[in-house]
Structure 1
């Protein structure tokens, strides 16, 4: 037994004589949580409401604002948020404001556009004009953006957590009558807010790998490589500080989880445990249909057990990488077609369950808006709020987190039902895999690129990285 304790945890788990199902259930049974009053949890109705509540909360902030997002864009939406932050600091000089964005994403231009210094150029310009009261940090979780980004979610404003998978720009904030749909939740609970803010303060602030972006001199990525390596090692074991509070009458058990890397990933393990423990019904939301192998296996097991599984994805034209045929084609534009090909193969494999209604596939599409939803509903008592795209990249490369809401008394059931009904208004159910287009119907540049990728099996690599 002493020898076993010296082995990596993943090897020990395979050697010990316990079944996987028992291990997963034990994880759920021992998961600590905050007891959050159900009345303090609110689902916001769309991106316009998200923008309104975010700006109102910033304006009313008294003690702290901690914003974590993949990016804060140099456009009207991003500048509106930045303006609100500087205005809040001017009203209350003691207000502490910290913004954390992905290091790599902040320092490049948009894909397909001319080279530039990226959003960081805007951050520095505003700091020169208005002072350094708004601290903006770049977080490099990998050496290169291709191999992983800061995908942590959750903004803390005083004692409120505003949780969404959305970043901060025009389309996420519904500027100019076009939006990218995500999920938006408010949780008013001081201990949870402290835990969310405490995570980034412990693991980001003061770390050599996490420098300020809105200062005159910014270090190069090359000079940060040893520090990035140390940060990666730290994040692999990073956890939220969560008490073990019983969720009594009127309360919901809320557990924040972080996950980073392939091995010993607490978030991944918990998602699999939740799927394995489903009794009757699972609803899975993902913007890019490219499920990790363990999730595909879990869904297959659910279907074999007789559970109902509903999956909602965006139609390819609602994908944020979609390029209309009348516009010049760029390589990145192949992704929506690659995801649709994945979905068609999945639907074909499970055609019997599709026909019986046990499996339901919903394609979301609304005008020229895009779809960016993520998360899970399990039976009537568990919901997962997350920025995790449930794809191989999120599973192994990005720094992710989630809020797991366990609601044995069904206090949020109506709220979740309203959210799901709202999503279904713009979704079409796929009755048969033939309803999904094949490559024969794709634009010529897409067909050519897909053939080339498939010929050298690069499509598999693309699926893992994007």
Structure 2
């Protein structure tokens, strides 16, 4: 009797993916796009090439330089970028130079370090020494950093878009012998650059909540609360201005996407639609293994359909929160272990698919360098380059963006395959969950704190906001 009563419910659950797939197909077919020549899209190989390209483009700029990132750090890497920007302005005073960083992140010191005025102190120091010319704005996406940050990415220099999930400091720019690996793309297309620049002008420069940080008097966050609320409401419905270009035989369809909030989040919706539409293979890159529930569900559906899934994540020692055991333990150092436990549970649940080769999980590690890659490659004709970490925080709290590349002519396939092959050079494929380090081998301080989190179920809360 119970089986008969539950039959309609089971039938609805089985039919739901088909309804979702139809809705996803309709969403993707309605997306506008720029027709960008495939030879105008370049994949840069490493952070050194990214830094060199960035500095060269800054030096050659004639009209505009717009940079948006989580932060521009007060260290050698960040100062090198600021030096280049002020030098470009001195050479060409008609140059428009705007930098947008997270409001909260810019005004605090590093986690675990002494309290300070943060990177904003460097911004003001440069403005006092070199005068006007470089406008640095803080964008307060939420009232507090814990509940969401500016995670938008992109550098627009004249007609070029440099897109990476990286921020700007020593390790992201490979300045001091170590690097934090990300993905790096260069797209030369005036209309795409105009659209991304136009978004920054409409939603940031013209917002009462977005204020200059490199000026003497910076308002308090509390005084901006009403303006921040208005900014949030504005961003909920914001979109890039994108046409419906017709593709030529040598073109790739490029759509910039915005994502903010739990509902009506276009970037999230498109990512799920793309995954549901996968036919043969999905490659998913994420630095922190903490997948949002909708993504986990779609991956399960794809595995049941027989799709091949490849997931690359950083080894816990390649996580930017990892603290080597000889160093004093801090609570933030628990995160890499929490992410590894998430990965262990996921691998244990999919042992069969891992054994058959249908599911392939790779751990990336290269010495004491770190891993910060994000994005997806689907079949041979779809790629998403993004700063989205594929975690619950990115899915609901942070302001995110990305570039969707649809390539029906497979014009970029060789470039993406070369990128994927290069990444695997420093990655090891897990055979099963037992290949991960046992929790019994974790440092004593880590084991104690993990037990406390598990006992109080606070680990679930941490997974939702980190």
Q: Which residue of 2 aligns with 1:178?
A: 178
Aligned position for 2:415? 415
How far, CA to CA, are the matches of 2:436 and 2:345 in structure 1? 10
Name the residue aligned to 1:211: 211
Partner in structure 1 of residue 310 of structure 2: 310
Shift of 1:19: 2.1
Q: Distance in 2 between matches of 1:66 and 1:465?
A: 29
2:262 aligned with 1:257: no
Is 1:33–1:253's contact at 8 Å kept on the other side of the alignment? yes
Q: Specify the alignment match of 1:453 in structure 2.
A: 453
Q: CA deviation at 1:438?
A: 2.9
**In 2, distance between residues paired with 1:227 and 1:456?**
37
**1:280 & 1:66 partners in 2: Cα distance?**
38
CA distance in 1: counterparts of 2:87 and 2:72, whole angstroms: 17
Residue correspondence of structure 1 range 99-248 to structure 2 within 5 A: 99-248=99-248
Measured after TM superposition, the shift of residue 441 of structure 1 is 1.3
Counterpart in 2 of 1:287? 287
Question: Who is 1:10 aligned against?
Answer: none
Unaligned residue ranges in structure 2 (runs of 5+): 1-15
Rounded to whole Å, the distance in 2 between the matches of 1:333 and 1:377 is 31
Contact persistence 1:286–1:372 (CA under 8 A): yes
* Displacement after TM superposition at 1:98 (Å): 0.2
Q: Shift in Å at residue 30 of structure 1?
A: 0.7
Give the aligned partner of residue 269 of structure 1.
269
Comparing 54-63 and 244-253, the one that deviates more: 244-253
Q: Which TM-score applies when normalising by structure 2?
A: 0.96
Corresponding residue SS for 1:94: coil
| SS at 2:212 equivalent | coil
Between the aligned partners of 1:199 and 1:450, the Cα distance in structure 2 is 42
SS where residue 270 of structure 1 aligns? helix
Report the TM-score, using the length of structure 1 for normalisation. 0.96
1:38-82 C-alpha deviation (Å, 9 max, x unpaired)? 000000010000000000000000000000010000000000000
1:81 is aligned to 81
**Is contact 1:341-1:438 (8 Å) kept?**
no
**2-structure distance, mates of 1:411, 1:20:** 29
User: Offset at 1:25?
Assistant: 0.9
CA shift for structure 1 position 132: 1.6
Find the residue that maps to 2:224 and give its secondary structure: helix
The 3-state SS of whatever aligns with 1:177 is coil
SS of match in other structure, 1:202: helix
Aligned 1:317-336 pairs, distance under 5 A: 317-336=317-336
For residues 248 and 284 of structure 2, what CA distance do their matches in structure 1 show?
28
Report the 3-state secondary structure (helix = DSSP H, G, I; strand = E; otherwise coil) of the residue aligned with 1:204: helix
Q: 1:324, 1:124 → 2: CA distance? A: 34
Q: Corresponding residue for 1:8?
A: none
SS in structure 2 of the partner of residue 273 of structure 1: helix
Q: In structure 1, how many angstroms separate the alpha carbons of the residues matched to 2:292 and 2:89?
A: 43
Instruction: Give the secondary structure class of the aligned counterpart of 1:255.
Output: strand
Using the alignment, how far apart are the partners of 2:176 and 2:126 within structure 1?
A: 24
User: Which string of whole-angstrom CA distances, capped at 9 and with x for unpartnered residues, describes residues 277-333 of structure 1?
Assistant: 000000000000000000000100000000000000000000000000111100000
Q: Which residue of 1 aligns with 2:463?
A: 463
Write the distance in 2 (CA, Å) between the matches of 1:291 and 1:226.
33
Gaps of 5+ in 1: 1-15
Provide the rounded CA distance (Å) in 1 between the counterparts of 2:450 and 2:439. 8
Aligned to 1:427: 427
2:252 partner SS? strand
Cα deviation digits, residues 92-144 of structure 1 (max 9, x gap): 00000000000000000000000000000000011011112100000000010
C-alpha separation in 2, matches of 1:394 and 1:65: 26
CA RMSD of aligned residues (A): 0.9
CA–CA distance in 2 between the matches of 1:336 and 1:463?
A: 11
Aligned to 1:386: 386
Find the aligned partners of 1:23 and 1:285 in 2 and give their Cα distance: 25
Paired position in structure 1 for 2:12: none
| Aligned mates of 1:453, 1:242 — CA distance in 2 | 45
Moved more, 433-442 or 385-394: 433-442
Shift of 1:422: 0.4
Cα offset for 1:248?
1.6
Deviations 1:261-287 (A, max 9, x none): 000100000000000000000000000
Distance apart, 1:439 and its partner CA: 1.7
- SS at 2:211's partner residue? coil
In 2, Cα distance between the equivalents of 1:132 and 1:290?
Answer: 43
